[in-house]
Amino acid sequence: MVDESAGKPTALQVRRRKRTALIAILSALTLVVVAAVIAIVYIGSLATTFDTKTQKIPMAFPQESTRPSEPAPAAPDGKTPINILLVGTDSRGATIEQAEAGIPSDQRSDTMLLVHIPADRTSVYLISIMRDLWVPIPGHGSAKVNAALAFGGVPLMVQTVESLLGQRIDHVVFMDFSGFKDLTNAVGGVTVDVKIPFTAGQTSNYHFDAGPQTMNGDQALAYVRERYAFPDGDYQRVRDQQNFIKALVGKLASPQTVANPVTVANVVNELSPYLTVDSSLNAAAVAKLGFELRNVRASDIVSFTLPTSGIGWSTDGQSIVIFNAPATSALATALAKGSMPQYVKDNDLTNGN
């Protein structure tokens, strides 16, 4: 006779298997919970680092009655475009603290970039504003755009840029140039495709050959600051700054960087002390924007310079960059209508200008 019960597990074996499976499931859940707790603590630590090490601008924006209105949502999910005014400076001394507080000082912005992020978050536009651009400054007649910071602090600087482009500035970020150096070192160097070979005699004796070069912090700082080595001075310096920022973003957004918690922590820890931001740009806001831009790569960043009409002289004898009002008006229209891709195509700005 054949024993039909042969091969069938006993009741004890069934209980043991169930217990083993339950232990495995509970162990897996425990690992997930532990990993989640570690991630929360890690993210919380980074947020604390950013919020405590960055300095805040108590009065970043002008009176509401002087500002462009807030844009209506331009995306199905209710998102609106975001404009960030990024200002590069050489010092975090007393004069910059006065300027950040909205007090007139002798501080002038060295580099100005309008970072425009469309509502669909699929691209980023870096619009450099030449520091010697001769423009109307509300309440002060015409002067170089970087003088707005000296005349009326950060609020007047924001108001001046808003009046030029009809765009509402959502955030303001000051970055000490030393931050370029430490940030570059924190990510292990940045590879930049140098367009024009030169020797940075202004700040060092570093020589940059044409073609891809991996730069350390000191080299990066020399690269973004040099202007005397070029026939067109600030124009090429602005192009080099745009070139470096695109390369830096590419490195920051690479899987090798974002997947390495040590590198991410180093970036936040090293960069934060060199940043001064408006009070609404906290760690939560940065994290939210970073998540929304998670699919943007260096190839999705378009950089160009606010239209100008060359160089000239002011009536009081200053060397200036001449403001191109009609071309700037066309840019303002494209920003307002969300038609920047067409504007870039029409003006052949795919590779920067």
Most confident segment among 46-55, 183-192, 260-269: 183-192
pLDDT at 273: 86
What average pLDDT does this structure show over 250-256? 77
pLDDT at 252: 79
DSSP tag of 347: T
Q: What percentage of the chain has pLDDT greater than the value 70?
A: 80
Residue 281 to residue 176: CA distance in whole angstroms: 17
By CB neighbour count within 10 A (0-12 exposed, 13-18 middle, 19+ buried), where does 239 fall? buried
Q: Does 143 have pLDDT greater than 90?
A: yes
What average pLDDT does this structure show over 228-248? 88
Residues 188-203 have pLDDT tens digits of 899 999 999 999 987 7
pLDDT at 90: 59
pLDDT at 308: 94
Q: Does 60 have pLDDT greater than 60?
A: yes
Q: pLDDT averaged over the chain?
A: 82
pLDDT at 334: 95
Of the listed ranges 57-61, 169-173, 209-213, 264-268, the one predicted with least confidence: 264-268
Of the listed ranges 81-90, 106-115, 172-181, 185-194, the one predicted with least confidence: 106-115
Q: Count other C-beta atoms under 10 Å from residue 102's C-beta.
A: 18
pLDDT at 127: 93
Phi, psi torsion values for 266, nearest 5 degrees:
-65, -40
Q: Does 19 have pLDDT greater than 70?
A: no
Residues 301-338 have pLDDT tens digits of 898 999 999 999 999 999 999 999 999 999 999 999 99
Q: Count other C-beta atoms under 10 Å from residue 159's C-beta.
A: 21
Which residue, 129, 166, 124, is CA-closest to 147?
A: 129
Model confidence at 36, in pLDDT bands (50, 70, 90)? very low
pLDDT at 38: 44
Contact yes or no for 203/116 (Cβ under 8 A): no
Of the listed ranges 20-29, 76-85, 111-120, 202-211, the one predicted with least confidence: 20-29
Phi, psi torsion values for 33, nearest 5 degrees:
-65, -45
Most confident segment among 22-36, 155-169, 175-189: 155-169
What average pLDDT does this structure show over 216-232? 90
Residues 256-288 have pLDDT tens digits of 777 777 777 888 888 888 888 999 988 888 888
Model confidence at 183, in pLDDT bands (50, 70, 90)? confident
Q: Does 34 have pLDDT greater than 50?
A: no
DSSP tag of 68: P
3-state secondary structure of 20: helix
Residue 124 to residue 194: CA distance in whole angstroms: 21
The sheet that has 171-176: what strands, in order across it?
Answer: 55-57, 275-278, 171-176, 82-89, 111-117, 124-129, 301-305
Residues 65-102 have pLDDT tens digits of 999 988 877 767 788 999 999 888 755 444 555 555 55
Quote the tokens at residue 251: 């490195």
Q: Are strands 319-323 and 142-144 parallel, antiparallel or unpaired?
A: unpaired
